[in-house]
Amino acid sequence: MTSGNPVQDRLDELDDQETSARLLLERTLRLAGRRLDHHRVTGPALRLAVRFHRRAEHAAAELDRCIAHLERTDGR
């Protein structure tokens, strides 16, 4: 759903990306844990978890930068 405001839309998109990536990270780590319990190879699952973690961190950092920029420019 879009608000009609491109800035708010981008902030919402970044927030959704971070949330989604963190949920996928948790699911992937649970899967890797189950594989460890069953002595299966966990390499691919752990690599995927790292990617989701990086995606979440990237979205969170960009969201923080956007908000900080808006706060700085709001006082003008």
CB count within 10 Å of CB 72 equals 9
Confidence (pTM): 0.75
- 52's CB contacts (< 8 A; 6+ apart) are 21, 22, 24, 25, 28
Is 17 contained in some domain? yes
37-67 residues labelled b (16+ CB within 10 A) or e (exposed): eeeeebeebbebbeebbebbeebbebbeeee
Is 39 among the domain residues?
yes
Residues spanned by the domain of 49:
6-74
Is 1 part of any domain?
A: no
Q: Could you say which DSSP state residue 4 is in? A: S
Considering the domain boundaries, does residue 68 fall inside one? yes
Q: Is the residue at 58 inside a domain?
A: yes
Each of the 76 residues of the chain gets a pLDDT tens digit; together they read 567 889 899 999 999 999 999 999 999 888 887 766 666 667 788 888 899 999 999 999 999 999 999 999 886 5
Number of independent structural domains in the chain: 1
Those residues with Cβ within 8 angstroms of residue 73's Cβ, 6 or more apart along the chain or in another chain = none
